[in-house]
């Protein structure tokens, strides 16, 4: 079952990179007591994700945070080392938290996984965005296959 507006973010964990190496963070660490704009990409370094999706959130980070968002987070079913390298390559700095859902457990818990085996990618997360307040989804935007519209930074800005 796919998560819906009004649902609580399920318990899961991600990996993030710190100065001392990989670190596990829980969904409560990310979403608890905060307003979070989370967006998910099918893969780091993939064309739309690298050319439009992540750069849009980096470009509009100050505007998004200025509308009451505490954390902007990018999630993908990639390992923490890939997410860290991609974040550095994209110049995210402190603007966007890079969350590695390495095994796709969070994507599955949301009901937003996709089968990318036809592209040699295995199970991945769909392209989507959401806004959550204290762990409760207030906006959910799931892209149709091959689309990039409703999960963009511009669309999120319009929802805030």
Nearest Cα to 83, choosing from 70, 101, 71, 95?
Answer: 101
- Structure tokens given for 9: 């973010």
- DSSP annotation string for 91-152: T-TTTSEEEE-TTSHHHHHHT-EEE-GGGT--EEEPSEEEEEETTEEEEEEEPPTT--STTS
The residues carrying an active-site annotation are: 49
């Amino acid at each position: 079952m796919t998560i819906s507006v009004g649902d609580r973010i399920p318990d899961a964990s991600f990996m993030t990179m710190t100065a001392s190496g990989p670190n596990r963070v829980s969904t409560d660490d990310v979403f608890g007591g905060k307003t979070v704009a989370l967006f998910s990409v099918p893969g780091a370094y993939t064309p739309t994700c690298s050319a439009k999706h992540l750069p849009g959130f980096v470009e509009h980070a100050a505007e998004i945070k200025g509308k009451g968002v505490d954390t902007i987070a990018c999630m993908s079913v990639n390992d923490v080392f890939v997410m860290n390298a991609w974040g550095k390559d994209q110049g995210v700095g402190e603007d966007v938290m890079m969350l590695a859902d390495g095994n796709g457990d969070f994507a599955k818990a949301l009901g937003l996984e996709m089968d990318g085996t036809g592209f040699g990618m295995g199970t991945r997360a769909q392209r989507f965005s959401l806004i959550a307040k204290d762990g409760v989804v207030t906006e959910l935007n799931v892209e149709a296959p091959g689309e990039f519209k409703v999960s963009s930074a511009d669309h999120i800005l319009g929802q805030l």
